Structure 1
């Protein structure tokens, strides 16, 4: 193979890997119990290098009307509108496709969990693990890239 082709393949591989580790953008959160879409979350990268996820839209479901405010949530989330709420905070890129040391708020219960996440190889699904204390005591969610 020629040098130009090898260079093109290398750059293609590097650029696709760079995309794969970037979790910024819009994500459809999926309820881990029902499998139904819950909310549209925008993940952004902060100046300190961590990632934050804000709810930008709630997804109504048959038989369920989403809460408008975070009633049972601790300060500073108490009685704040759920749309516009930063529910993922402090998530840090670790290595490969992994992110760690984050926190995730469940606005329906008011509970805050430690979290980690892993992006799949094509960058279209984000596997989240929220837990209290140890990771074995937690819940999984899969978010689907929406943009």
Structure 2
């Protein structure tokens, strides 16, 4: 290489450019993965008994990084469109389920989200909640429980495109 210093310079510049490009591509892929693995977005819930689509829940993140989820659309054709939460015992009592916030105070915890609550509008009960994404962010496993996570049930929601 000492005979052709300009060639060595050219090779070094090309290697640096390729390394920079590869780093940018990896950073972009990591950001895309992080975004797709976030629960933020629209999710189709599944009825526990019929295993049919039940509702669309929109999960949003506030400026503090806390997640909440709101029912934005019912998917069960057998339920009346203006259905209300007659079983609720808090401020949501007799309020329309469409537009109702059913998930609140979820905070990032490792690979998932925890520390919040979820309301089951069918029975009016409020459960502790934890969630995490699977399949590259296309599924959301939502677990409602009492006391410890072992005492509860999980649902898998499907991301709406």
**1:137 matched residue in structure 2:** 151
| 1:7 equivalent in alignment to 2:4 | no
Structure with more helix by fraction: 2
Counterpart among 92, 95, 101 of residue 80 in structure 1 = 95
C-alpha contact 2:45 2:55 (8 A) present in aligned 1 = yes
**Which digits, 9 at most, give the CA deviation of each residue in 1:77-102, with x for residues without a partner?**
10100000000111111122x11111
Deviations along 1:1-30, one digit per CA (max 9) or x if unpaired, are 831443134213321232134221111011
1:107 lines up with 2:95 in the alignment:
no
Q: Separation in 1 of the partners of 2:126 and 2:56?
A: 19
Task: Quote how far apart the aligned CAs of 1:54 are.
Answer: 0.4
Bigger CA radius of gyration: 2
Match of 1:17 in 2: 33
Residue 65 of structure 1: which of 79, 88, 91 is its match?
Answer: 79
Distance apart, 1:70 and its partner CA: 0.4
Q: Can you give the 5+ residue segments of structure 1 that lack an aligned partner in the other structure? A: none
Q: TM-score, normalised by structure 2?
A: 0.81
Deviates more, 1:120-129 or 1:81-90: 120-129
* C-alpha distance in 2 between matches for 1:89 and 1:47: 14
Alpha-carbon distance in 1 for matches of 2:145, 2:36: 25
What do you get for the CA RMSD once the two structures are aligned? Answer: 1.8
Asked which structure has the greater RCO (Cα within 8 Å, sep 6+), the reply is: 1
Which is worse superposed, 66-75 or 3-12?
Answer: 3-12
| d(CA) in 1 for partners of 2:85, 2:155 | 20
Name which of structure 1's ranges 3-12 and 125-134 shifts more when overlaid on structure 2. 3-12
